[in-house]
Amino acid sequence: MLAKNVMHYSYVPVNANVAIESKKSRTINNAILKSTVLNILVFMFVLSVFTVNAAEDKFSFDTPAQRESFLTLTAELRCPMCQNQNIADSDAMIAHDMRRKVYALLKQGKSEQEVIDFMKSRYGDFVHYQPPVTAATLWLWAGPVLFIFIALIVVVRRKSIAPPVDMAAKLAKADEMLEREKE
C-alpha cells in the first residue's frame, strides 16, 4: 500500500516540470496544457486518496494503535487463495473475509498474536509469513550455519594438515632415493 502511495506523489513533480517547460517554449498551447496538467494532477490526487484507503476499506478504528495492528496483520497474513500475496494486497474473496475477520477480532480487543493464532488454527502455519521453528523448518536456519561450519572445517583441515603429510612423505621418498643412490 505504502509503495503505491509514494509512487503517486512522485508523479506529481514530473508533471509539474512538464508544465514549466511548456510555459517557456510554447505560449499558444499554454492554456490547454495547463488545464490538462491540472486535470491530471487532480486525477492523481483523487487516485491517491482512494489508494490510501484501499486496504482499510470502510474500517474505522478506535485508536491509532489498533489501526497500526490492522495494517501490520494484513501485511503479515498470507492469502490462502493467491498464495504470493498478503491479505492486504489480495482481492480474492477469502482475503476480503479475512480482513473483515481481522478487523472484527481487533475490535473485540484481541491482541495481534491472538489474531495470528486464530488464523493459524484455521489455515495452518502457511497463513503467516513468519514460519515457526519446527523439526521440518529448522533447516532454514540450521542449513546455512551448518554449511559455513563444515566449509570452515574443510578449509582449515586442508591448510594445516595436508601439506605436512605430503612433505613428510616426499622427504621419506627423497631419503629413500638418496639411500639407493649411495648404494
Partner 1 sequence: MKKAPLVAIPLVLFSLLVIFLFKGLFSDPRELDSQVQDKTLPAFSLPDLMQPDVTYTPDDLKGKVTILNVWGVWCVTCAVEMPYLTQLKNEQDVHIVGLYFDQDLDPDFGTKTLSRVQQEVTEMLSRYGNPYAYNIFDVYRDTSLDLGVTGAPEHFVIDADGIIRMHHVGDINERVWNSKVGPLYKKLVAEASGNEGEQKEVDVEAVMSNNMNAQEGE
Q: Which residues bind partner 1 (CB under 8 A)?
A: 58, 80-81, 83, 93-94, 96-98, 100-101, 120-124, 126
Tell me whether residue 21 or residue 114 sits nearer to partner 1 (CB atom). Answer: 114
Distance between CA 77 and CA 94 in Å, rounded?
A: 12
Cβ at position 123, least distance to partner 1 in Å: 5
Distance between CA 36 and CA 49 in Å, rounded?
A: 20
Cβ at position 58, least distance to partner 1 in Å: 8
Neighbours of 176 (CB within 10 A): 10
Cβ at position 86, least distance to partner 1 in Å: 15
Nearest one of 95, 37, 102, 93 to 72, comparing CA atoms: 102
Cβ at position 94, least distance to partner 1 in Å: 5
Phi and psi for 28 in degrees, rounded to 5?
A: -70, -45
Tell me whether residue 21 or residue 117 sits nearer to partner 1 (CB atom). Answer: 117
Tell me whether residue 52 or residue 81 sits nearer to partner 1 (CB atom). Answer: 81
Interhelix angle 112-123/64-76, rounded to 10 degrees, is: 30
Contacts of 78 (CB under 8 A, 6+ apart): 85, 86, 87, 126, 127, 128, 129
Tell me whether residue 42 or residue 142 sits nearer to partner 1 (CB atom). Answer: 142
Cβ at position 56, least distance to partner 1 in Å: 14
Cβ at position 92, least distance to partner 1 in Å: 8
Tell me whether residue 73 or residue 80 sits nearer to partner 1 (CB atom). Answer: 80
Q: Is 124 left (phi over 0), alpha (psi -120 to 50) or beta?
A: left
Tell me whether residue 52 or residue 94 sits nearer to partner 1 (CB atom). Answer: 94
| All three cell numbers of 63 | 485508536
